[in-house]
């Protein structure tokens, strides 16, 4: 097998006495889609923050395309191809939708015209053309989620970290979100996605990894995970019994 795109090696992250990530290791291959699930407080967002560089690990290493990026700030990781969305949507509300996306594409392109051109392509890809000149603050919440995705895509990532991008969507909006993630997958971008709704995760991912109390307790196909007694006890019990 070729070298993994991402290699997370034995990450620990403490917050005082709490171990939010406890010896977490994960490899992600080029173009692979990994679902990251687990109960509230399991350490999923902490893990994303450590991969993206927003949080330093207490111990451990992050390699991207074979290169140790553990000491790099988020913008420099982003230039290498690591992009993320936030669990709580962040946009520049007074700026137009297109300008918000340009913020992303400028990270890759210092030429303003090229950056704008790239932003327009991404705008179409996420189906927000009709809202190009609208201030981001006026978007509906599902549109804001698509904008957040657009800003991440505009940095031309090789790895995209999606933190609950479907949360709070109606079933119709979620279907649209699933279609969008499928289109991203077709472009060859690797994705790690955190989602609580198994019906959303399962059809999208190649593999599921389960975090509980900061540790990976299981990893495998959707079928393997949903029948794993440890996972059912820690997380899935209620949704399967329901």
Q: Which residues bind ligand ATP (CB under 6 A)?
A: 15, 18, 20, 38, 40-46, 87
- Count residues binding Mg ion (CB under 5 A): 3
**Residue 41 touches which member of Mg ion, ligand ATP, none, C-beta under 5-8 Å by kind:** ligand ATP
Per-residue contact string for residues 24-53; x = within reach of Mg ion by CB under 5 A: --------------------xx--------
Phi/psi of residue 218, nearest 5 degrees: -165, 155
Judged by beta carbon distances under 5 to 8 A according to partner kind, the member of ligand ATP, Mg ion, none in contact with residue 7 is none
**Residue, CB closest to Mg ion:** 45
Window contacting Mg ion (CB under 5 A); options: 84-92, 167-175, 199-207, 221-229: 84-92
Residue 203: CB atoms within 10 A of its CB come to 11
CB of 65 to ligand ATP, least distance (A): 25
The residue (of 61 and 87) whose beta carbon lies closer to Mg ion is 87
Q: What is the DSSP string of 47-69?
A: HHHHHHTSS--SEEEEEETTEE-
Q: Residue 46 Cβ, how far from Mg ion at the closest point, in Å?
A: 8
> Of 88 and 112, which CB lies nearer to ligand ATP in the complex structure?
88
Distances (CA, A) of 193 to 16, 235, 240: 27, 17, 21
Compute CA distances 98 → 107, 109, 116, 140, whole Å: 15, 15, 8, 16
Letters for 87-106 (x = contact with Mg ion by CB under 5 A, - = none) are x-------------------
Minimum Å distance from CB 44 to Mg ion?
A: 5
Q: Measured between alpha carbons, how far is 159 from 189 in angstroms, rounded to an integer?
A: 6
In the bound state with ligand ATP, the residue whose beta carbon lies nearer, of 74 and 135, is: 74
Q: Tell me the three state secondary structure of residue 110.
A: coil
Q: Under the phi-then-psi rule, with left for phi > 0, alpha for psi from -120 to 50, and beta for the rest, what region is 42?
A: alpha
Distance CA 106, CA 116 (A): 8
Q: Which of the listed partners (Mg ion, ligand ATP, none) does 20 bind, with a CB threshold of 5 to 8 Å by partner kind?
A: ligand ATP
Residue 239 CB, nearest distance to ligand ATP (Å)?
A: 14
Residue pair 157/81 in contact (Cβ under 8 Å)? The answer is yes
Complex with ligand ATP: residue 56 or 75, whichever CB lies closer? 56
* 18 interface partner picked from Mg ion, ligand ATP, none, CB below 5 to 8 A per type: ligand ATP
Nearest distance, CB of residue 165 and Mg ion, angstroms: 12
The CA distance from 119 to 169, in Å, is 25
The beta strand positions in the chain, using DSSP E, are 6-15, 18-28, 33-37, 59-64, 67-68, 82-84, 159-163, 190-194, 207-212, 215-220
């Amino acid at each position: 097998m070729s070298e993994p795109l991402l290699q997370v090696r034995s990450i620990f992250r403490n917050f005082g006495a709490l171990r939010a990530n406890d010896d977490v290791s994960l490899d992600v291959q080029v173009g692979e889609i990994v679902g990251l699930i687990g109960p509230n407080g399991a350490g999923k967002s902490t893990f994303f923050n450590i991969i993206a560089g927003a949080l330093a690990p207490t111990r451990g290493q992050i390699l991207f395309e074979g290169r140790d990026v553990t000491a790099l700030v988020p913008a420099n990781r982003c230039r290498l191809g690591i992009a993320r969305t936030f669990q709580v949507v962040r946009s520049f509300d007074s700026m137009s939708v297109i300008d918000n996306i340009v913020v992303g594409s400028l990270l890759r392109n210092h030429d303003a015209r090229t950056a704008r051109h790239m932003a327009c392509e991404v705008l179409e890809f996420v189906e927000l053309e009709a809202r190009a000149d609208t201030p981001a603050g006026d978007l509906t919440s599902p549109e804001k989620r698509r904008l957040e995705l657009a800003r991440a895509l505009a940095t031309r990532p090789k790895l995209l970290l999606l933190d609950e991008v479907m949360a709070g969507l109606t079933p119709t909006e979620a279907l649209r979100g699933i279609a969008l993630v499928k289109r991203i997958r077709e472009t060859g971008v690797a994705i790690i996605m955190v989602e609580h709704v198994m019906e959303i995760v399962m059809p999208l991912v190649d593999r599921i990894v389960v975090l509980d109390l900061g540790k990976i307790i299981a990893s495998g196909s959707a079928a393997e995970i949903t029948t794993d007694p440890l996972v059912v006890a820690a997380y899935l019990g209620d949704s399967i019994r329901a």
